[in-house]
A and B are shown apart, each in its own frame.
Chain A
């Protein structure tokens, strides 16, 4: 015979216990807090949305009249109707390539040494502390560094090499820090498993630890590149062209050693020109840079989510 439901539970009427368990009215404070957090999130997103909408609105004539010419056109601070971001986009891409080739291997190698080889030594602790300090140095200081060392001392002149190396110095601490964190996140049990079958430290690091840390390192790399793409101060000091730039029909590799410009610099340059026409051009260039940076950050987040490890 089936059991019947109780009339009382622990000395209290069953109906009141049912009511207490199912009503959910007791966490008012929690709900208010949740509401406030949602408002904060919405506020942040709203600011970004307003920025994008404003830029779109102001640059609208450029997109309706001459989108192709704008995206391909040369830097031209004299004549708004001819002004474009083609050279700037190319410059930004080339700078990003130099940063990728220099800062990524160097930063990753540094992180591997700090985490896998020297982790407890005084040198490692000292280096880690200083890398964190360097990450906080203002970007204009890296511009001065670039000017003094790469442009003048190494004689690279006002070229993409110099600009790219200055930006590499800027993002190197970020690459080291994110790569270190990715390496540290690899569980020690994996290293022990490798050592346990007689692997050397390099075999363990190269065949197990680095591949496992790969997604984390990659995410850090893309974030660093996005940061480098958006910086104006270092490349302004290194001598990116702001007025008019004749690059003519230079090939890719020739361009690396010659006068250049980049998106942040183009924006800076156009923003200083008088006249309504330049307002449109500035807004359009800003939108291009914003979209580029958002895309790169989006890729970084997608990569991180896709390859997130569950140990």
Chain B
């Protein structure tokens, strides 16, 4: 990777010294909603078994970019993706790629916890079942191990058949994480997973992320800069470019680097203003 040419654009991509392999590589990624360009020119290399945070003000396209990594933007009719998103070398938007299989390997946790209106057990068993796990004993094992890894087993082991909707917000979100883990993904995408939760629940989830990062690659979108600083290895800062003539706002990737550098000595002035709280 030639850092000199990369620096000529607005982005700065640096190779993380610890990782040996990239899970995602995006090049010239642009996302449109109809004719509206929501986010442009995103070039990222996401390393394996690291936590990458996307930070930036509202409307800068962080969630939009996140949703490109598991083809969730397909669910929005007017959404159109240009450029490439390579997952272990295969372009996710290339021909012949099965979005369903992609989503089995790249899981997602949403901003507002969204457990199915079913029992805790059924929430966790659904993914494995549709992947072909039929035996009850295997499903039981998967349910238990997922709940243990999400630090939820002790709290719910006696009421697996009760409705998931009866849990608190923090528990529901850990359930959603357990649900994502249950299908044994490669990557977990988290779209502001703690924004609807109180500080204690947030703390538990951050602990959880730290424990599981050795097994998964995690990308987290967060509004909370302190969280990004606490939790992530790499940080990508997005911002909004306002086009005065057409009165549109387009998201751009400003800077992408190791978290400690982004927060102590960022290269771009806009990054520095954002992380020190002087804007947005």
Contacts and interface: CB of A to CB of B under 8 A. Distances in A.
Contacts of B117: 190, 212, 309, 311
Report, as a range, how many residues of chain A touch the other chain: 20 to 34
A208 interface: yes
Given A189-B114, A192-B114, A197 B179 contact: yes
Nearest to A197: B127
Contacts of A199: 100, 103, 126-127, 130
Contacts of B101: 198
A189 B112 contact: yes
A195 B126 contact: no
A290 interface: no
A142 to B, nearest CB: 35
Contacts of B180: 196-197
B126 A197 contact: yes
A199 B176 CA distance: 15
Interface in A158-193: 187, 189-193
Interface in A252-311: 309, 311
A119 B75 CA distance: 11
B116 A194 contact: yes
A29 interface: no
Interface in B74-102: 75, 77, 100-102
Contact of B127 (A120, A187, A198): A198
A120 B76 CA distance: 10
Contacts of A57: none
Nearest to B70: A196
B107 interface: yes
A207 interface: yes
A34 interface: no
A203 interface: yes
A229 to B, nearest CB: 33
Interface string B113-126: 01111000000001
A193 B172 CA distance: 12
A208 B182 CA distance: 18
A169 B57 CA distance: 54
Given A194-B116, A196-B72, A196-B107, 8 more contacts: A119-B77, A189-B112, A195-B103, A196-B109, A197-B179, A198-B100, A198-B183, A199-B100
Interface of B: 70, 72, 75, 77, 100-105, 107-110, 112, 114-117, 126-127, 130-131, 176, 179-180, 182-183
25 contacts: A187-B114, A189-B110, A190-B116, A192-B114, A193-B114, A193-B115, A193-B116, A194-B126, A195-B72, A195-B103, A196-B72, A196-B109, A197-B103, A197-B107, A197-B180, A197-B182, A198-B100, A198-B183, A199-B127, A199-B130, A200-B130, A207-B126, A208-B116, A309-B117, A311-B117
